[in-house]
Structures are given as C-alpha cells and as structure tokens.
Amino acid sequence: MKMSLMKKLSISFLLTVIGAILIASFVSNYMVIRKFNNYLVDEHKEKVNKIIVTAQDLYNDTTGFSNFNKDELLRYAVLEELYIQVKDANGNVVFDSGNSHLQHKNMMETMMGNMMKNGMGKHFNMSLEEYMEETHSLVKDKKNIGTIVVGYFGTSYLNQGALTFKMTLNHSFILSGFIALVFGLGVSFILAKQLMNPLVKITKTANEMREGNLAVRSEVKSKTKEIEELSASINYLAETLENQEMLRKRLTSDMAHEIRTPLTTLKTHVEALLDGIWEPTEERFQSFYDEIERLTDLVDNLRNLAKLEQADLKLNKTKFNLSGELEKIILSFEPLYSKNNHIITSNIDENVWVQMDKDKLKQIMHNLLSNGYKYLKSQGKVLVELKKEKEGICIKVKDNGIGIPEKDLPYIFERFYRTDLSRDKSTGGSGIGLTITKSLVESHGGKISVESKEGEGSTFILEFPKGIICENE
C-alpha cells in the first residue's frame, strides 16, 4: 500500500518524538527517583543519628537516666513515626515509645491505608515491608551509658511529603510527555505541509510537461535547498525540451526544404524533356547531376552525424607539431581566400607539440575555416591564433563576416540549425558542420564556444586540456 509523503513524514516524525519522550522520561525518572531514594535513606540515617545524640545528651553523670525528660524522645517517635527504646548500662528499659512494635505496625498500616485512599499507593506499587530495628550504643565521654533501639518498617522513610513529591514528579513527566507529543504532532504536520506543497506543485508542472505543455514553468519558491534545486532542474528540463521541440520542427522544415528543392528541379526538368519542350543536352544533364550531388551530400552528412552519435569517436592519436600543422592548413586555404580578395592570417606560438588525432584536427579546422569563408563580406579577413597557456591550449578563429544574431547563439552547435542569415542557397549548408566540429573537439576532452555580434563578425574558441601537450624530444 502506497502512502503519501506527507503522511509518511508525519508518522516518522511523530514516532521519533514518541521514542525520544519515552527514552528521556525513563532515563530522567530512573535517575531522579534513584537519587531521591538515596536522599531519603540518608535523611533517615540522619534522623536516627539525631535521636542517638539527643538520648546521649539526656544522660546525667550523677542521676543517669532516672530523671531525664522523656517528652522530647516521645515527640521524635511520634513525629518521625519510629519506635524508640532506651536501656541503661545494666540493660534496664528507661524509655519505650510504645508497648511493642505491633503498635507501631498498626500506626504504619493506618498511614498506608490513607495513602491508598488518596491514590498514592497505586502509583508507586507500595506494600508494607518487614519491620526492622537498629540497636546503637550510647556513649558519653568515652563511657558506655546504655543502648538505644530504633524500630521502623522498610518504607518508613517514605513519609507523606516524600510520596507527594514522587507522585508530583511522575505526573510532571506524564504531562510533559503529552505536551511534547502534541507539539511534535503539530510541528510534524507543519513541516510535512511545507515540504509537500512545493512538491505537489512541481509534480503538477512535470505532469503538464508530460502531456505536451512544454511552455509551463515551476514557480515554486522555497527556502529548502533541495526543493529549490529540483524546481530549477524541472524548469531547465522544460526549457531544454521546448528548445529541442523547436529545433525538431525547424529540422523538419529545413530537411523538407533541402530535399524538395533539388527534387522539384529534377521533376521540372524531366517533365520538360518528356513534353518535348527541352532537348536533351550535356548542359541539362550536368544540371541533373548537380542536383543529384546535392542530395547525395545531404545523405552523406546525415550518415556522418549518425556515426558521431552511435558511439564515442575512435581517435588515432599521434605526436606532432601543432604549430606547423596549423600553418600548413592555413597555407592550403590561401588560394581560396585570395581568389575572392579575402585575407587569412595567423598568430601562432611556435613549437607547440601535442598528442592528438591529426586527421580530426584537420577536419575541425577545415570546417571552421570553410564556415568563416562562406560568411565573409567583401575583402574579408580571417585570423587563426594558437596560444599555449597554463590551463592548456587555446585556438581561436576570428572573422569579420556577417556575424551571428544573438538569438541564434545558444543553438549554433545544434544539428541542422542554420541562422536566417545563412539560408542563401549559395552559402547555406546542411547545418551539421558545427555539430560535427563540436563532437570532434569534445572527443579530445576540449570544448568549443563562440562569440559573435551581428554585422561585425564571429570568434570560435577551441580550448584543449593541458593533458594533450607533450614535450618535443
């Protein structure tokens, strides 16, 4: 049976409170009662010692115990509920607080009966214990003057005041436990509600996302760190899914456009040949061939992207001079750039040796330099920089081309994404060149980013970890 989080939290917190109350009450009650009982026993011994001292003080060196005042000992016996008997040195009884201990027993039974009527006895499981007597020698000026017998029952030190204190103490534990239980129940309900309300709202947001509403966002504000992070994660997921959905729709539209254009051209040309409007010539067949090549390139790009996503790229790493390799790549692009009055320059640190896949590096630079070339303005410039830094290696490709709109920057490395400025047939590609480049860079443990301003140009930044750097032998 599934239980709601609120109920589970409330029950767990309540059980914890109950357990804590029981443990604290048991330990506290045990320690307090134990100490209090010890205190009562010590007090009883002090009473007996006080009676002994009183009896010794009543002795007269001249007359002995014959004329001493018995009222004080009798008062002690009555007030402290004790049986007192005093004998002289010859063993003669000179004082007796009662005819026998049975009289004292009857007095104790009467007291216990009153306590049971008042409800005290049932709280402490009291029963009349065995009658006991203590015999002590009476000594004065180092002379044995007689003996004193103090009789009492085992519970005699539990007087009315002591029993009342114990009962009050136990009642206070019970009342404190009840108040703590109610307080714990209230706190558990409040805490559970504070946790549940935002979670319910987040769950509602997630369910709306599942039903297709990707524009929904979690508006939960909480002082609980984990709930705040969960809300932010749900919003990030919703935003990511919304962007992916936008890219998917855009991909469908772009792919339809890319495929429809050459197919429409081929269809129109073939219909013209079938209707006899056109004569089959070499130039027209070349046009057919060009359109078919466009479709072939598109399919090849899709296949290459699929390979990149199937598994991690297998790198064939070798040691080589990155500085020299970049110079060679730049040199190979100079004819293309100069043909259209563009300039490609470099600012490269010398003798930077690395352990990388040389072919993948060439593909990365080819994609970036070709991409930069496509979007240069008249008499455009491209600068390639290589810097060896403490954190690793940084390669930058700067151009002064048309730039990238700010709204497109977050998606520039997404598959098949092309900005509105790159949709011209003469320049626009399939939209996966930068996606492939990003995968190749990341396969070397690096990262790629872009800085751009529309109308002023773009800078692609490649950052590789220092682990790929090696020393020249």
Distance between CA atoms of residues 243 and 266, nearest Å: 35
Is the CB of residue 363 less than 8 Å from the CB of residue 307?
Answer: no
Q: Is the dihedral of CA 371, 399, 390, 347 positive or negative?
A: positive
Is residue 22 assigned to a domain?
A: yes
Distance between CA atoms of residues 194 and 199, nearest Å: 9
Task: Say whether both 254 and 387 belong to one domain.
Answer: no
Distance of CA 261 to the CA centre of its chain: 54
Task: Say whether both 298 and 322 belong to one domain.
Answer: no
Torsion over CA of 361, 364, 367 and 368, rounded to 10 degrees?
A: -110
So what's the pLDDT on residue 122? Answer: 44
Is residue 151 assigned to a domain?
A: yes
Of 116-120, 255-259, 388-392, where does mean pLDDT reach its minimum? 116-120
Structural domain harbouring 358: 313-468
Higher pLDDT, 325 or 172: 325
Task: Say whether both 301 and 421 belong to one domain.
Answer: no
Written as six digits, the tokens of 320 are: 């080589």
Q: What is the pLDDT of residues 47-66, one digit of tens each?
A: 888 888 888 877 777 777 76
Task: Say whether both 302 and 386 belong to one domain.
Answer: no
Q: Is the dihedral of CA 77, 83, 84, 85 positive or negative?
A: positive
Q: Residue 360 pLDDT more than 80? A: yes
Helix axes 322-339, 358-374, angle to 10 degrees: 30
Distance between CA atoms of residues 289 and 281, nearest Å: 12
177: buried, middle or exposed (CB in 10 Å: 19+, 13-18, 0-12)?
Answer: middle
Closest Cα to residue 326, out of 349, 302, 295, 293? 349
Closest Cα to residue 321, out of 249, 386, 404? 386
Distance between CA atoms of residues 106 and 108, nearest Å: 5
Q: Which residues are bridge partners to 152 per DSSP?
A: 132
Task: Say whether both 338 and 385 belong to one domain.
Answer: yes
Give the end of a domain, one of 309, 343, 372.
309
Q: How confident is the model at residue 313 (pLDDT cuts 50, 70, 90)?
A: low
Q: What is the pLDDT of residues 226-274, one digit of tens each?
A: 888 888 898 888 888 887 787 677 767 766 776 777 788 788 888 888 8
Q: Is 378 in a helix, a strand, or coil?
A: coil
180-184, 337-341, 382-386 — most confident range: 382-386
Is residue 218 assigned to a domain?
A: no
Task: Say whether both 58 and 85 belong to one domain.
Answer: yes
431-448: average pLDDT: 84
Q: Interior CA angle at 214 toward 450 and 447, to 5°?
A: 20
Closest Cα to residue 367, out of 441, 452, 464? 441
Written as six digits, the tokens of 283 are: 């130039």
Give the end of a domain, one of 309, 329, 360.
309
Q: Is 25 in a helix, a strand, or coil?
A: helix
Task: Say whether both 322 and 463 belong to one domain.
Answer: yes
Task: Say whether both 304 and 322 belong to one domain.
Answer: no
Task: Say whether both 117 and 260 belong to one domain.
Answer: no
Is residue 385 assigned to a domain?
A: yes
Q: Strand order of the sheet with strand 83-88? A: 93-96, 83-88, 143-153, 131-140
Q: How far is CA 3 from CA 9, 11, 18, 164, 194, in A?
A: 10, 11, 21, 47, 17
Residue 269: CATH number of its domain: 1.10.287.130
Is residue 449 assigned to a domain?
A: yes
Q: How confident is the model at residue 137 (pLDDT cuts 50, 70, 90)?
A: confident
Is the CB of residue 427 less than 8 Å from the CB of residue 412?
Answer: no
Task: Say whether both 345 and 303 belong to one domain.
Answer: no
Average predicted confidence (pLDDT) for the chain? 78
Distance between CA atoms of residues 53 and 103, nearest Å: 25
> Regarding beta strands 392-399 and 317-321, do their DSSP bridges make them parallel or antiparallel, or are they unpaired?
unpaired
Q: How far is CA 261 from CA 56, 266, 291, in A?
A: 130, 9, 9
Query: DSSP assignment, residue 82?
Result: -
Q: Which amino acid is at 353?
A: W
Is residue 370 assigned to a domain?
A: yes
Distance between CA atoms of residues 305 and 440, nearest Å: 11
Helix axes 5-57, 160-210, angle to 10 degrees: 170
Give the end of a domain, one of 279, 309, 339.
309
Q: Is 401 in a helix, a strand, or coil?
A: coil
Task: Say whether both 23 and 165 belong to one domain.
Answer: yes
Distance of CA 434 to the CA centre of its chain: 37
Is residue 276 assigned to a domain?
A: yes
Residue 347: CATH number of its domain: 3.30.565.10
Count of beta carbons in the 10 Å neighbourhood of residue 128: 14
Residues 6 or more apart whose Cβ sits within 8 Å of residue 76: 50, 51, 54, 82, 84
Q: How confident is the model at residue 127 (pLDDT cuts 50, 70, 90)?
A: very low
Proportion of the chain in helix, strand, coil states, percent, rounded to 5:
60, 15, 25
Q: Which residue has the tokens 């436990």?
A: 177
pTM over 0.75: no
Number of structural domains (the chain) is 3
Is residue 376 assigned to a domain?
A: yes
Q: Which residues are bridge partners to 319 per DSSP?
A: 355
Distance between CA atoms of residues 245 and 411, nearest Å: 12
Task: Say whether both 338 and 443 belong to one domain.
Answer: yes
Q: What is the pLDDT of residues 399-421, one digit of tens each?
A: 998 888 888 888 788 766 666 54
Torsion over CA of 160, 165, 169 and 175, rounded to 10 degrees?
A: 70
Distance between CA atoms of residues 254 and 294, nearest Å: 14
Q: What is the pLDDT of residues 158-202, one digit of tens each?
A: 555 666 777 777 777 778 778 877 887 787 777 777 777 888 888
